[in-house]
Structure 1
Amino acid sequence: MSTQGWLVDRQARVRAFDRRHPWVMDTLVAVPIVLFSIPNLIESPLSAAIATLVVLPPLYWRRRYPFPAFLVTATIELIQGLLDVRVGAGVILLVMLFGVASRASWRALAWASGISLALLVTEIYLVNPVPVTQSRLITLLLSIGTLGAAIASGVAVRTRRAYLIALEDRAARLEVERDQRARLAVAEERARVAREMHDIVGHHVSVIVGLADGGAAVATSRAEQTAEPLRLIGDTGRQALSELRRVLGVLRERDADPQLSPQPGIDDLDQLLPSVRAAGLPVTYSTSGELHTLGRGVQLAVYRIVQEALTNTLKHAGRGAAADVTLAACDGEVRVRVRDDGRGKPAAPSHGLLGMRERAAMYGGVVTAGPAERGWLVDVVLREPS
């Protein structure tokens, strides 16, 4: 580390220590004052001791109240001059003037400078007149120079403090700008990924929809029974393509103006279940309670849970299985039961089951999933937010 860096580091440590323990620095200032008063304490112990005890307290509250501390010290200085007791109030007055210049307002500094000048003139010419042989004017000019040095030092400290604050503000603004640039870069990357996903996945889904529509048209012309499943494949593909555009549209730029549609709810199960039945899984569906009064968030959770449970049934229940979906709302709770009578082996914990647990946890719910007496049971209890 260079000498300059070492000095800057030590200065920063001293400032930090002073902020944590300001009384230490104030005491270091008070010690020379007491030492300066020792001769007076020897000559007149009582009066000098009282004067010293009176002049020291303003040192400890000059940081918070610089101008009042200066006024108190100036008053003490004047009284000591009248009583001809010298215990260092003049030195403390310089310290107070420095504090006003570095911490108080410019108006307070102007008042403090005027009071200090008036106090000097009063002491040099009236209270304890300087002998003519010592030239009162020279004494006054030297004293004014000392006051000016204290004021200049305080103003320099004030300027440096303002400069440091400005640097900190600039650093904070630069950090905010850096974060904003990072967020913009992330948004641009997300938009790029969204465009690529839309182009790749959308293309293949569109091909599937086209093939399904073509197959349905051929099957219809031949009066074959496969026409209806092929039409359902096409409708499902178009729905998937629509949801793909809606989801990826959120990742695009704002000016892309994605067409957002409402999230599915319980009413949308009437569109979901026919596609599941067409895929070969008979499903019975029953409800009880005021389900339509549930919030949109709870309805979305119910829809996704039923969707995932039926998807797992299609995957693992085996041929010839059937499923039963029951929804019940009562006393601020919603119960979702999806049960099948399949003979497939239970699947290992999947992302779908984890998603069910996460959705249920959002509403203080519990998910029970496992083998039933015959088949597989998913039992979920959700609590309606109060």
Structure 2
Amino acid sequence: MDRRHTIYQWFRDNPFKVDLGAAILLCLPFGALYAVAGALPESLISTTMILTIAWRRTRPELAAGALVILCLIHMVIPTAVVAGILAVPVIIYSTAAYGAVWASRSVLVAGLIGAVMIVVRLNNSETSSTLLLGLTVGALYVILVSLLVLFSWTLGDLTRTRRLQVQALEDRARRLEIEQHQERALAAMDERSHIAREMHDIIAHSLSVIITQADGARYAAVADPAVAPATLETIAATGRGSLAEMRRLLGILRNDGDTPTRPLPGLADLDELLLGVRAAGLPLSFEQSGTPRAELPAGAELTAYRIVQEALTNVLKHAGPSAKATARLDWTAKGLDLRVQDNGFGSAASSPAPTGSNGGNGLRGMQERVKLYDGQLTAGPHNGGGFLVTAHIPYSEA
């Protein structure tokens, strides 16, 4: 099968060589017959007409023009009917299949005119018993030759149509392949952005808790050494949780089926998150009101979780000592409202951080997450002091 495919591909890639070989093979037997008969003019004209087949696909217009001139010469000089006439239907077919549209139509008209001319020439070279019989036979010859011309041209035109359809399908397949490559590239870029947001949220929150615990334990252990074990336990638990999340993300990057995974965090995991923040030394109150009218998708719940996580992480990093925070979730008829506020005076609270792209990476990440679910997010200093983050995530309903 491979050898046959290779041979077929070579025939497709070398049309001139194939057609030239076919023309030479046709010239050999007729040339030998004319040589034996001693008909030199017929041999030259016939050989030249057949050789036009060599350019039937590479230069069909040139081949058709040369054949028309040779046929006119054959009509003018007093020679017998030559075997080169066999090239006429081949060139008509090839011009209709591979030539320009004007050449295809021109060769059809020339073929039909040539059918009449060759029959007239045959009738002039032969004697007929009666005029009626001669006209009848001539008309039949004209019809037969015209049918041969029409058949050759129609077959070539159908070949052209099929070739154009195949070319259109190949072009479409090529465009689809390019579009698939682009879609895969966009999907990979989106996944990289998603993983980057996840890694930022995980690392920023975990390191903030660890740094806060380590700084607090360093001073508290001087007065009360018993604080150190509890603090180290909180640091270890935070590190283990972050390590598990990092392994999950790295498993996605490796696409390793053996990598253990666990469900993405959602609203049900907020209690564990709040316990970790309280263990880090931040006084935190949490309230929840209302009942959900519909379930949020898993991605929307992850977005809500990450917003609360990022907002509390910013409190730990920027609100300063003695800061307090409140977190509130309200289920409304339109969706979920989130609110995280602190009374600190850190760098995050001292300068505005609008909802656009002027905030830090964490705020941009929150904004991008919320936009994916047609939500809204605002973040900035509160009038009463501190920093306020609010978000609205609507129900995803068809």
Give the TM-score range, shorter chain: 0.5 to 0.7
Structure-2 residue corresponding to 1:308: 310
Contact persistence 1:301–1:359 (CA under 8 A): yes
Give me the identity figure in percent.
Answer: 36
Matches within 5 A, 1:263-274: 263-274=264-275
Counterparts of 1:298 and 1:165 in 2: how far apart (Å)? 47
Structure-2 residue corresponding to 1:144: 144
1:313, distance to aligned residue in structure 2 (A):
0.9
Counterparts of 1:187 and 1:352 in 2: how far apart (Å)? 22
Structure 1 328/338 Cα, relative in aligned 2: closer, same or farther at 3 Å? same
Structure 1 379/183 Cα, relative in aligned 2: closer, same or farther at 3 Å? closer
Counterparts of 1:358 and 1:147 in 2: how far apart (Å)? 71
Structure-1 residue corresponding to 2:336: 334
1:327, distance to aligned residue in structure 2 (A):
1.2
Structure-2 residue corresponding to 1:298: 300
Structure 1 318/331 Cα, relative in aligned 2: closer, same or farther at 3 Å? same
1:180, distance to aligned residue in structure 2 (A):
6.7
Structure 1 257/174 Cα, relative in aligned 2: closer, same or farther at 3 Å? farther
Structure-1 residue corresponding to 2:371: 361
Counterparts of 2:173 and 2:339 in 1: how far apart (Å)? 54
Counterparts of 2:289 and 2:269 in 1: how far apart (Å)? 16
Structure 1 327/176 Cα, relative in aligned 2: closer, same or farther at 3 Å? closer
Deviation by residue 1:92-129 (Cα, 9 ceiling, x = unmatched): xx99xx9xxxxxxxxxxxxxxxxxxxxxxxxxxxxxxx
Counterparts of 1:363 and 1:186 in 2: how far apart (Å)? 19
Structure 1 355/152 Cα, relative in aligned 2: closer, same or farther at 3 Å? same
Structure 1 240/233 Cα, relative in aligned 2: closer, same or farther at 3 Å? same
Q: Which amino acid aligns with 1:288?
A: S
Deviation by residue 1:163-203 (Cα, 9 ceiling, x = unmatched): 23223434444565677789899999999xx9xxx9xx99x
Q: Which amino acid aligns with 1:306?
A: V
1:259, distance to aligned residue in structure 2 (A):
3.1
* TM-score, normalised relative to structure 1: 0.52
Counterparts of 1:177 and 1:294 in 2: how far apart (Å)? 38
1:330, distance to aligned residue in structure 2 (A):
2.4
Pairing 1:375–2:393 present: no
Structure 1 374/182 Cα, relative in aligned 2: closer, same or farther at 3 Å? closer
Contact persistence 1:263–1:300 (CA under 8 A): yes
Q: Which amino acid aligns with 2:364?
A: L
Q: Which amino acid aligns with 1:374?
A: G
Counterparts of 2:236 and 2:312 in 1: how far apart (Å)? 20
Contact persistence 2:341–2:388 (CA under 8 A): yes
Contact persistence 2:328–2:339 (CA under 8 A): yes
Q: Which amino acid aligns with 1:350?
A: G
Contact persistence 1:187–1:251 (CA under 8 A): no
Report the 3-state secondary structure (helix = DSSP H, G, I; strand = E; otherwise coil) of the residue aligned with 1:281: coil
Contact persistence 2:292–2:335 (CA under 8 A): no
1:309, distance to aligned residue in structure 2 (A):
0.6
Structure-1 residue corresponding to 2:165: 165
Q: Give the number of the structure with larger relative contact order, counting CA–CA contacts within 8 Å between residues 6 or more apart.
A: 2
**Across the two proteins, how many residue pairs are aligned to each other?**
240
Structure-1 residue corresponding to 2:327: 325
Counterparts of 2:144 and 2:152 in 1: how far apart (Å)? 12
Q: Which amino acid aligns with 1:266?
A: L
Contact persistence 2:293–2:333 (CA under 8 A): no
Report the 3-state secondary structure (helix = DSSP H, G, I; strand = E; otherwise coil) of the residue aligned with 2:245: helix
Structure 1 343/246 Cα, relative in aligned 2: closer, same or farther at 3 Å? same
Contact persistence 2:378–2:391 (CA under 8 A): yes
1:305, distance to aligned residue in structure 2 (A):
1.0
Structure 1 258/186 Cα, relative in aligned 2: closer, same or farther at 3 Å? farther
Unaligned runs of 5+ in 2: 1-57, 62-107, 113-129, 354-358
1:365, distance to aligned residue in structure 2 (A):
3.2
Report the 3-state secondary structure (helix = DSSP H, G, I; strand = E; otherwise coil) of the residue aligned with 2:327: strand
Greater shift in the superposed pair: 159-168 or 238-247: 159-168
Matches within 5 A, 1:107-118: none
Counterparts of 2:293 and 2:271 in 1: how far apart (Å)? 13
Contact persistence 1:266–1:292 (CA under 8 A): no
1:299, distance to aligned residue in structure 2 (A):
2.3
Deviation by residue 1:121-142 (Cα, 9 ceiling, x = unmatched): xxxxxxxxx9426341132112
Q: Which amino acid aligns with 2:322?
A: G
Structure-2 residue corresponding to 1:280: 281
Counterparts of 1:384 and 1:160 in 2: how far apart (Å)? 56
Structure-2 residue corresponding to 1:134: 134
Report the 3-state secondary structure (helix = DSSP H, G, I; strand = E; otherwise coil) of the residue aligned with 1:226: helix
Deviation by residue 1:316-375 (Cα, 9 ceiling, x = unmatched): 101111111111112233221111111223355112222333333344433232222021
1:225, distance to aligned residue in structure 2 (A):
1.1
Counterparts of 2:292 and 2:236 in 1: how far apart (Å)? 31
Structure-1 residue corresponding to 2:14: none
Contact persistence 1:369–1:379 (CA under 8 A): yes
Counterparts of 1:247 and 1:256 in 2: how far apart (Å)? 13
Q: Which amino acid aligns with 2:330?
A: A
Structure 1 249/224 Cα, relative in aligned 2: closer, same or farther at 3 Å? same
Q: Which amino acid aligns with 1:369?
A: A
Contact persistence 1:341–1:376 (CA under 8 A): yes
Deviation by residue 1:29-61 (Cα, 9 ceiling, x = unmatched): xxxxxxxxxxxxxxxxxxxxxxxxxxxxxxxxx
1:154, distance to aligned residue in structure 2 (A):
1.3
Q: Which amino acid aligns with 1:354?
A: R
User: What's the RMSD between the two structures over aligned residues?
Assistant: 4.2
Counterparts of 1:289 and 1:377 in 2: how far apart (Å)? 21
Greater shift in the superposed pair: 365-374 or 336-345: 365-374
Counterparts of 1:252 and 1:277 in 2: how far apart (Å)? 35
Report the 3-state secondary structure (helix = DSSP H, G, I; strand = E; otherwise coil) of the residue aligned with 1:229: helix
